Amino acid sequence: MATAASASPGALGAKTPARGPSARHPAPKPAPAFARPAPRRAPAPGRPRASLHLGGAGAGVASSSSAAAAAAANGSGLHVAPAIAPLALPKMAGAMGTHKNVLLFYCEEMRELAQQVVARNDDIELRSISWRTFADGFPNLFISNAHSIRGRHVAFLASFSSPSVIFEQLSIIYALPKLFISSFTLILPFFPTGTSERMEDEGDVATAFTLARILSNIPISRGGPSSLVIFDIHALQERFYFGDSVLPCFESGIPLLKSRLQELPDSHNITIAFPDDGAWKRFYKQLQHFPMVVCNKVREGEQRTVRIKEGDPRGRHVVIVDDLVQSGGTLIECQKVLAAHGAAKVSAYVTHGIFPNDSWEKFQADNGEGPEHGLSHFWLTDSCPLTVKAVKDRRPFEILSLAGSIASALQI
């Protein structure tokens, strides 16, 4: 005899209870491929309708009329949502297609270069600092209208031409980022301790690393770490001496030289010469479309002479390229070797003309008499302002200004 539990559901007139999740959540019905708009209910008579209008005054009227026109055009009677223009976003300083308004402070040595930078870009404004000293010789400094630079992009153009001027400039460099500014950029065209980057004996002090550590501790501004712009640092590995709390940007004066060479009447006959392998490593990639001559120094007894390692200078206008010059002895020896091997002309370029003890006086113009008598041109940048004043209007020297390059770097 059949029990009630085994009875047929149809016989009992009841449904078998479902098991599993579907018992609690019935399976949804499949949606149609094209959703059918729900019928619109007409508002009650005399009852106002609430609406939200975007896009300014009169947008609601325009939206209603455009929607009605669209419905009439497609013949469906369906409501078509009007296109809404995206909300305008504020422009960010330094973004693509925008310009930063920068306040440029400077040390006294860099006054002339700072004025040239401002003349290149209307978005850069010149600001000054009161550089005074107390009776004991220590700096007495004052930044005028400090409240007015809050929220602004600020830069400082420095010249570490001697140890005696570094401390007073560091005082300003450390003070400016703390004045609630948006960003801070230090432009130091010449990194003066770059040639002291190695230790050959125990006890040697690599002052390049010391100065890099000092600059790496510039306080951060409201916008984040400070930026540091340097031109043609002496050794490529020195870029790794700086810490993570500063953002170093390494620029070069070589584009200025290339532009100047294109202006020469014998621009088709230029050969680039490097006085040593170090100069070749630094610059050959920027000048690789020119024929090249590489020299090196060979020790002969107590003397070091310059010889041509590779390349042919015969009949060419040879331009010696290096990052800096101090006493100038190597450049002069290189000039003599190139002349002896048949160069038609010899010129020179360095980004940083240091020339301690007026050593620039060793260099003479050839006056069209040939490279044995001197240089046709000696190009320098204005990274070392004291040298610029000393050699102004003196042949064979010619100054290629970094003003345009600095103005561009301040917009990064």
Higher pLDDT, 219 or 41: 219
For residue 12, pLDDT beyond 50: no
- Percent of all residues in the chain with a pLDDT value above 90, rounded to a whole number: 69
Read off the amino acid at residue 161.
S
The neighbour count for residue 146, using CB atoms within 10 Å, is: 14
For residue 300, pLDDT beyond 80: no
For residue 294, pLDDT beyond 50: yes
C-alpha–C-alpha distance, residues 15 and 12, integer Å: 9
pTM: predicted TM-score of the whole model, two decimal places: 0.75
Q: Any idea what the CATH number is for the domain that residue 140 is in?
A: 3.40.50.2020
What mean pLDDT value characterizes the chain? Answer: 83
Question: What are 109-160's pLDDT values in tens digits?
Answer: 999 999 999 999 999 999 999 999 999 999 999 999 999 999 999 999 999 9
Same domain, residue pair 116 and 217: yes
**DSSP secondary structure string for all residues of 202-268:** TT---HHHHHHHHHHTPPPBTTBSEEEEEES-SSGGGGGGS-TTEEEEEE-SHHHHHHHHHTSTTGG
Which residues have C-beta within 8 Å of that of residue 257, sequence separation ≥ 6?
319, 321, 349, 379, 400
95 is a domain residue: no
Its domain, for residue 345, covers 254-381
Cis ω for the linkage preceding 313 (within 30 of 0): no
| 226 φ/ψ angles, rounded to the nearest 5 degrees | -75, 155
Please compute the mean of the pLDDT values over residues 274-301 and round it to a whole number. 92
Please compute the mean of the pLDDT values over residues 194-210 and round it to a whole number. 87
For residue 392, pLDDT beyond 50: yes
200 is a domain residue: yes
Which residues have C-beta within 8 Å of that of residue 248, sequence separation ≥ 6?
227, 228, 229, 230, 239, 242
Same domain, residue pair 261 and 353: yes
For residue 54, pLDDT beyond 90: no
Q: pLDDT band at 199, cuts 50/70/90?
A: confident
Greatest alpha-carbon span in the chain: 134
Higher pLDDT, 26 or 376: 376
Our CA dihedral for 173, 225, 406, 119, rounded to 10 degrees, sits at: -70
Question: What are 15-30's pLDDT values in tens digits?
Answer: 444 444 444 445 555 5
For residue 328, pLDDT beyond 60: yes
Q: Are 378 and 348 in contact (CB under 8 A)?
A: yes
Same domain, residue pair 284 and 236: no
334 is a domain residue: yes
Same domain, residue pair 131 and 190: yes
pLDDT at residue 235 in the model: 85
| Strand 129-133 relative to strand 139-143, pairing | antiparallel
The neighbour count for residue 62, using CB atoms within 10 Å, is: 13
Same domain, residue pair 260 and 220: no
pLDDT at residue 298 in the model: 84
Q: How many domains does the chain have?
A: 2
Q: Where among 230, 251, 272 does a domain terminate?
A: 251
